[in-house]
């Protein structure tokens, strides 16, 4: 929701998609926004969502994919179903959203920001599992690929790569795991969802007009460029 709030505060009209109906309640309360219940990893849902957004607003200027789920555990203990679920939610969703929105983004000379992770840079750990690390690495190369392919269409494509972020996603960790993780971060703190949203908004703004194909490191020094 942090990205939704950041863009709405900046004056954008919002089309938000989630398979979690409860998370869309605030969007539904805003008559100027479009709340779409659907799964970003399902082709039909994505195609319908993009079509509805174009019908409502007449154009798409920004595409932000903040959907994602984590796995956990060793590769040998990962089922094919769990692997596919994590890959679909994180990586396939980016592919589908970008593909379906391409024509609209070309028409508007729009911008894409995808959500990667430091796990996609450093290989990850068992805390989030192999599928998550591989999916987030795939997002980084999808970003770089599209930045080159779509530059001729006037579309900029970037991604953000946060370290741990203060969201419900990390509530599964124990106090000892949190303490150990923060010891690895030079600044000793997690990013907030609002900070990640602010970087996302910047990458969509005119201030980043010559920025494409970048991976924005938001990790408190956990990863050093």
Q: Report, as residue numbers or ranges, the catalytic residues.
A: 132
Distance, in Å, from the CA atom of 57 to the CA atom of 159, rounded to the nearest integer, reads 25
CA distance 66 to 64: 6
- In degrees rounded to 5, what are phi and psi of residue 118? -60, -20
Calpha distance 225→213 (Å, rounded): 15
Alpha-carbon distances, residue 174 vs 67, 73, 178, 179, 180 (angstroms) = 24, 15, 6, 9, 10
Tokens representing 45 are 């849902």
d(CA 117, CA 160): 7
């Amino acid at each position: 929701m942090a990205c939704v709030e950041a863009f709405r505060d900046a004056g954008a009209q919002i089309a938000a998609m989630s398979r979690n109906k409860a998370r869309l309640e605030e969007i539904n309360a805003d008559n100027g926004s479009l709340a779409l219940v659907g799964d970003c990893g399902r082709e039909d849902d994505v195609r319908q969502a993009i079509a509805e957004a174009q019908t409502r607003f007449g154009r798409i200027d920004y595409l932000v994919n903040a959907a994602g789920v984590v796995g956990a555990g060793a590769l040998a203990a990962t089922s094919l179903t769990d692997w596919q679920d994590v890959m679909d939610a994180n990586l396939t969703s980016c592919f589908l959203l970008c593909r379906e929105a391409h024509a609209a983004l070309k028409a508007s000379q729009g911008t894409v920001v995808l959500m990667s992770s430091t796990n996609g840079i450093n290989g990850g750990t068992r805390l989030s599992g192999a599928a998550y690390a591989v999916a987030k690495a795939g997002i980084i190369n999808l970003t770089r690929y599209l930045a080159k392919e779509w530059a001729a269409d006037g579309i900029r494509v970037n991604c953000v790569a946060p370290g741990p972020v203060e969201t419900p996603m990390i509530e599964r960790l124990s106090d000892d795991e949190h303490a150990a993780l923060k010891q690895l971060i030079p600044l000793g703190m997690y990013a907030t969802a609002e900070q990640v949203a602010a970087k996302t908004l910047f990458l969509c703004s005119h201030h980043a007009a010559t920025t494409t194909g970048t991976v924005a490191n938001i990790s408190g020094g956990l990863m050093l460029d």
